[in-house]
Chain A
Amino acid sequence: MTELYRLEKVSQVFGDRVVLDIESLQLEKRGILGLLGPNGSGKTTLLKILAFLERPTQGRIFFQGQEVAPREMAAFRSKAVWSPQYPIMFSGSLLYNVEFPLKIKGIPAATRRKRALELLELVGLTELVKAPAPKLSGGESQRASLARALAAGAEVLLLDEPTASVDAAARGSLTELIASLAREGLSIILATHDQALEERLVQRKIRLLDGKIVQAENSLTLVGELTVAADCLTLLLPPEAPRLNGRLKILSLTRQTESALVEALDESQVKVTVRLSGGASLERAWSLTLGDTLEARVLAAKAPEA
């Protein structure tokens, strides 16, 4: 898989509040990645950072293998287009809105009109070409927003709760449209609370809690040496896994989980799910007991090779 984004020690601080704190994160091209987590967990902030709309307080961002310096962010923007929960439509017709990204690039009127009409046909809004864009319904606005992002030449769509403002009837067709765009090779990262959308579309997931990643299923393969102590499992990783800091430490596992983990790691390529006792949610327990090193987590872990 080709690298789409790589974030290293990225954090975003507003005043005294740390809204995002990512030690490392690597996202691959193509497919649909779900950004999950409760309100205030940092999903929108992360989307805006990925769209190069917000400059993180610190950290390095790589896009398609190239480091994006703060001063170069503008050059990458139209490649990764962000669409908010309630897409903003500029005053004017729908056609004006879809033509907008082409117009600012200086594309001749006839060419941009042809392209805009093609895109409107793709998203099924041909009959609303002359309709005032700010008066479109939630579902129509989402479709229009997708058409406009495609007109901008987006290679990545960053969708923030795309179905939140859409009624049930339109949700199905919008979901299908997003799926078809992904099939055609577009990378899509979507933040959502919509479980149906998550189940239907999301191929890989990142779960955020209080600005930290508490779960990442992103083709993470851990190959290393596992040592087991009384209350601590340590997986020593080779240096080529820098984003894991070379070491994964899992603390406070119950005896039952520990046995399950060891057993699972004995078998090659077994997906291990850690369950903690005591009724606490998995994310919460991880964030409390494992801290930053949870990055590596044991989901999708692979046993040490012989």
Chain B
Amino acid sequence: MSVFWESFLAAMNLIFSGDQEVWKIVFVSLGCTFWASLGACLLGLPISFALAYREFSGKRILILIFNTLQSVPTVVVGLFLYVFISRRGIFGPLDLLYTPKAISLGQFFLILPLVVMFTLAAISRLDRRYHQTALTLGASGWQAALVVLRESRFALVAAVCAAFGRGVAEVGVSMMLGGNIKGFSRTMTTAMALEYDKGEFVMAVALGLILLLVSLILNFSLSQFQSHRGEQ
């Protein structure tokens, strides 16, 4: 127990002393996941909307694929992307490997199926008459889609939070595509894994606490946001 408290106090000290290395890792980690989540939302929301409101051939297969990809191991995503962005890959000349951009890209592919399926569930639950009401009042297809997104915003925020959580907590993609380079592409999870390997629990616990804190802030914000739903 004393090891835990010792690590905990040391971790607190690291966090609040403004340790450069710790905060660099935190910013890289949050930055990569932020861009991945943003990209996944920008592409995922229209895909979800099309899956919910349009009829086209191959729709069921597409849903099946996204459903399957939700549970794909992070190392599989990392491995596939590695093939494409390694020096010998077709995107090799872009020099993405072992950069934060590669981590973002990997997390994007990891998060996208979650955003699509969670959003699809949220949109499908909403009464279709919201869409029809917007259309009958003269809204264009895009305006009606925005009405649907606005009306399902609470579920959508929950979907985005879940996707962000999946991204920020993964190790495989960050390790395989980011390379865990100190001060450059080291994320919270890869740093924790490394510190654990080295037997340096203080840093690992500090980063673990920050990860928990991020999760807590996300969930608290979400519950605050959703509490407004009751007031409307």
Contacts and interface: CB of A to CB of B under 8 A. Distances in A.
B195 interface: no
7 contacts: A53-B132, A53-B135, A82-B132, A87-B133, A88-B133, A104-B137, A104-B138
Nearest to A93: B232
A53 B127 CA distance: 15
B150 A81 contact: no
Number of contact residues on A: which range applies?
A: 20 to 34
B193 interface: no
A77 B232 contact: no
A106 to B, nearest CB: 11
Interface stretch (A148-156, A214-222, A225-233): A148-156
Interface of B: 127, 129-130, 132-141, 143, 147, 150-151, 232
A134 interface: yes
A101 interface: yes
A91 interface: yes
A63 interface: no
A87 B127 CA distance: 11
A90 B138 contact: no
Given A88-B127, A88-B130, A51 B136 contact: yes
Contacts of A90: 130, 133-134, 147, 150-151
A74 interface: yes
A148 B135 contact: no
Nearest to A85: B129
Contact of A78 (B127, B138, B151): B138
A148 B137 contact: yes
A291 interface: no
Interface string A87-127: 11011100000001100110000000000000000000000
Given A88-B129, A132-B232, A134-B232, A81 B147 contact: no
Contact of A82 (B136, B140, B150): B136
A59 interface: no
B138 A152 contact: yes
B10 to A, nearest CB: 48
A interface: dominant SS: mixed
Given A88-B127, A91-B150, A81 B232 contact: no
Interface of A: 48, 51, 53, 74, 77-78, 80-82, 84, 87-88, 90-92, 100-101, 104-105, 132, 134, 148-149, 151-153
Nearest to B146: A104
A77 B138 contact: yes
Contacts of B151: 90-91
Contacts of A78: 136-138
A190 to B, nearest CB: 15
Given A90-B147, A90-B150, A53 B136 contact: yes
Contacts of B139: 101, 104
A92 B229 CA distance: 11
Contacts of A149: 137
Given A53-B132, A90-B151, A100 B137 contact: yes
A153 B136 contact: no
A13 to B, nearest CB: 14
Contact of B140 (A74, A84, A92, A100): A74
A34 B141 CA distance: 30
Given A53-B136, A74-B140, A78-B136, A84 B129 contact: yes
A104 B143 contact: yes
Contacts of A53: 132, 135-136
6 nearest A-B pairs in the assembled complex, by CB-CB distance: A78-B138, A101-B137, A88-B133, A152-B137, A82-B136, A88-B129
A177 to B, nearest CB: 19
A149 B138 CA distance: 10
Nearest to A48: B132
Contacts of A51: 136
A83 to B, nearest CB: 8
A88 B141 CA distance: 18
Nearest to A87: B133
Contacts of A153: 138
